[in-house]
Amino acid sequence: MTSLDYLRNIGISAHIDSGKTTLTERMLYYTGRIHRIAEVRGKDGVGATMDSMELEKERGITIQSAATFCEWKLAEQDYFINIIDTPGHVDFTIEVERALSVLDGAVLVLCSVGGVQSQSMTVDRQMRRYNVPRVAFINKMDRQGGDAFGVTKQLREKLHHNAVMVQIPMGSGYDFEGVVDLVEMKSIINKGDHGEIIEVVDIPEQFKDAAEEARSKMIEQLADYDEDMAEKFLEAPETINNDDVYALIRKCTLERVITPVFCGSAYRNKGVQALLDGVCRYLPNPMEVSNKAFVRSGSEETQVTLETDESKPLCALAFKLSDTAYGQLTYTRVYQGILKKGETIYNSRTGKKHKVGRLMRMHSDQMDDVEESGAGQIVALFGIDCASGDTFHGPDVEFSMRTMHVPEPVISRSIVVTDKKMEANLSKALSRFTKEDPTFRVERDEETLETVISGMGELHLEVYIERIKREYKCPVEEGQPRVRYRESITQPVEFTYTHKKQTGGSGQYAKLEGIIEPLEEGEFEFIDKITGGSIPKEYLKAVEAGFRESLKEGSLIGAPIVGVKITIDDGATHAVDSSEMAFKTAARMALRENYKKCKPKVLEPVMNVQVEVPEQFQGRILGDLTRRRGRVTGTSMTPEQVTVIDCDVPLNEMFSYSSNIRSATEGKGEFTMEFGSYEKAPVSVQEELVEDYQKKLEEKHKK
């Protein structure tokens, strides 16, 4: 078994079409994990190794994260690397969330021409959320207009990284020859049919000055974090030892105070081996990352720090589920202890126990059976009935780990089975997909008797509808996309509400006093300011539950209510008639009665949109975005004379935009879109939504 010192668990993340999957393919080839390079849009229809799903090969995009492992030798030492290749499209952002929640380090891939793009920012926020150290790889240096220095500047200015170039490119575009290693001050050039031959040579004369300047800048940045390095840099830079530089880069990377920057071209087989060296040198091993869990003892929970130690009690997290021909496949990260084939494990959420039947290391959709997996490893289990985010533990200590951040869906559409005989198949498909993907939701519209699916975007839902048709042979008709609006309040209201009901015998009595007010950040906050015991503590939980229940559906357009803060400062009970049910009902009715007084508003999802079009179409596209109520936040021009427009546009105005931009730009325009925030809808939009909702209520009452 590989020593934990030489184990790396990393993710490859980036904006769509930055070359993540191509980079992973080269990593696998150079490490000997595969023996033939396949392209994302391969001519033979094979597709890249990590894109195993048929839809991924057809569309040329990554839809599901895929796990693999490989070995790499650095300085005569063998390193074992677990790699998860994640999607770049924002609709599949949950795949990035679940990967980063269990990984120790990451490679942030950036396009040398596109630079820091919209999804780059999203991925960066996710890395920060899970405190993941990372290195940056500026890819596609073979493209005309590629600018590693400009992209590094964007890393600093747009993402606020202390980006430290540890390499500089030798040329760009057609003239891209290789990279200069600024630590060793040598040139690295890839030769051979697939770049498998590495030549480390002296720096060519034309790049020497730039290399010396870049090395000096690198040492200066590092010196800010080490007094000895600062002293040597100022007084005797020639005495700086390369091993000390490597050690300081690693230390600063692990502390997340710098981001080492590499560059190359995965497609042209340049710079990938040097990046693998960087992954091994600078990213953490499992023992260098702090992971927390809660230990349950009765009704009490205590937070503890897990130890990457095989002798400790088992703690493992199921972070991804996948249905296969052989049953459910559960991707699992072992944080502590050993997971062994044939042993019994326990699910802390359900309390159920399971016997570990098969234990495997994954290589995309291929499997290698193993007998056991120790702390720090990523493996897959077969035949374990669980949900994404469940914690497994042994018989001795009951651990529970907090699950990943799950964004709320912003778009819905109805689906109807065209062949009633296939309804069971639809039910199976939806049950499986909701279990695998926490951002995919299903509900039943009792008025229309339609099934409504919700997700992160049009592409997200399109993919699942296509999978329903293909994998479950279930023909469905799709309704028009629907925006998932929210309601909120605009002004505070003090309230007093008494719930009193007598039906013979013991009745119901509860009195609440407090204030309902807008909450700037967050969905709901409940504050207890009861003094003197006017409401017992056991009833306050019921009060909070009652308020939460009322927030599920507002009276304005029937949408969930968010941004509400409710403070309870007084109340009263009855010795006989008060109960948890009475206080829950009182809370529910108090909000319902006072909601209109809070002057509610409709919130609509506004998307961060980035459009790339040739310069000659700029005016036409800007005009179209303005008509769609778009708010332009910035424009820039690439060296290839492509205009990049950043803007915020309501989701309701973006349906079918992909076909519109193609026709408006002769097929040359592209755009990406991700959820930005909920904002107040214009009065005209709100009035229209309220009118539609009232009509639905009237029709419902007539029935």
**Residue 388, pLDDT above cutoff 60:** yes
- pLDDT tens-digit profile of 290-339? 999 999 877 778 989 999 999 999 999 988 887 776 678 888 999 999 99
Once rounded to an integer, what is the mean pLDDT over residues 228-235? 91
Lookup result for tokens 């926490």: 438
Whether pLDDT at 685 is above 50 = yes
Return the DSSP state at 376.
T
Paired tokens of 316: 């493992």
* 402 SS3 class: coil
For residue 128, give every residue at least 6 positions away whose Cβ sits within 8 Å of its Cβ, in sequence order, or none.
Answer: none
- What pTM, to 2 d.p., does this model score? 0.76
* Contact status, residue 395 vs residue 343, Cβ threshold 8 Å: no
- CA distance linking residue 262 with residue 274, whole number of Å: 8
Q: Check residue 208 and report its DSSP letter.
A: H
Could you give the CA distance from residue 199 to residue 181 in angstroms, rounded to a whole number?
Answer: 12
Percent of the chain scoring above 70 in pLDDT:
93
Q: Is 527 helix (H, G, I), strand (E, B) or coil?
A: strand
Question: Looking at residues 629-656, what average pLDDT do you find?
Answer: 88
How far apart CA 695 and CA 94 sit, in angstroms, is: 36
pLDDT level of residue 637 (50, 70, 90 thresholds): confident
C-alpha pair distances (Å), 299 with each of 294, 399, 568: 12, 13, 26
Q: Which tens digits make up the pLDDT trace of 147-193?
A: 999 999 999 999 999 999 999 999 999 999 999 999 999 999 999 98
pLDDT at 41: 47
Dihedral sign, CA of 30, 33, 35, 38? negative
Q: Look at residue 482 in the predicted model and tell me its pLDDT.
A: 87
Q: 225 near 250, Cβ under 8 Å?
A: no
Most confident of 106-110, 367-371, 468-472: 106-110
pLDDT at 92: 77
pLDDT digits (tens, 9 = 90+) for 427-460: 999 998 888 888 899 988 766 667 999 988 888 8
pLDDT at 44: 44
